[in-house]
Structure 1
Amino acid sequence: MMSKTTRFDAADYLGTKERQVAYITAALESGDADFVRDALGLVARARGMSEIAKNAGLNRESLYKALGESGNPEFSTVMRVVRALGLTLSAHPAATGRTSKRRRVA
C-alpha cells in the first residue's frame, strides 16, 4: 500500500513577518547569492507573488523568473523586491574578527 504524501513548500512555514525577516536575514548572513534569491522568492510567495510583483513594478511572470531556481536577478530587481516586502538592507561588521586591509589610493 502506497503512502499518500504532500509536496513540501517552505513558504507555508513563513506565515509571519518575524519568520520572514529571520529567514531573509539568515540568507543574507550566509553570503550565498542563491540562498538570498531563494529566500526572497519564498517570502514573496508567502505574502502573495502577484501583490509583491505589483508593488515592485514588475509583472508576476518576470518576478517568478528572476527569483526562480535558475534566476539571476539584477541588483536593482532585488532592491525593488526588498522594498516591496517592506524591508530595508543594512550593513554591519562581520563577526569574523578580521579587519580589512585598506587599499592605498594613488
Structure 2
Amino acid sequence: MAGPARKKRKLSSKSKMEKAAVPSASTSVEPKHTLYINNLPDHIPVTRLRANLYFLFSIYGEVIKVSVNPRKRRGQAFITLKSVDEANLAMISLDKEPFFGKLLNVSFSMKETTNV
C-alpha cells in the first residue's frame, strides 16, 4: 500500500517573484573599489605578475594599486581601481578568463581599501 498522498503547494506568480528577489547567502560581497584575484600561477616572478595584472585591469579603468605579497603569494592578488563601476566591469569581464594558463577567479574584496 502506498504512503499518504502529499499535496503539492502551488506558488502564485507573486510568491515566485518575491522568492526570486531575495538574494541568496551565496551571492558576492557588495561592490567595492578593490578586487580579490586568486588562482594566479605561482611560477611567474612577482614583478612580472604585478605588471601583467596592471595592464590587464587597466583596460577597464584606472588602476590605483596592485598588491601581491611576495612571501605569501599563494596565487592571490588585490587590485584597487578608481571607481566601483570600473571594478564591477573588470570583475564581470575578467572572471574565468585565461591568464598564463589558468582561469582567473575575480570577486570583490571583503575589505575596502582607501583610495589616495
TM-score (norm 1): 0.28
Determine which structure has the larger helix proportion and give its number.
1
Higher relative contact order (CA 8 A, sep 6+): 2
Greater CA radius of gyration, 1 or 2? 2
Normalized per residue, the structure richer in strand is 2
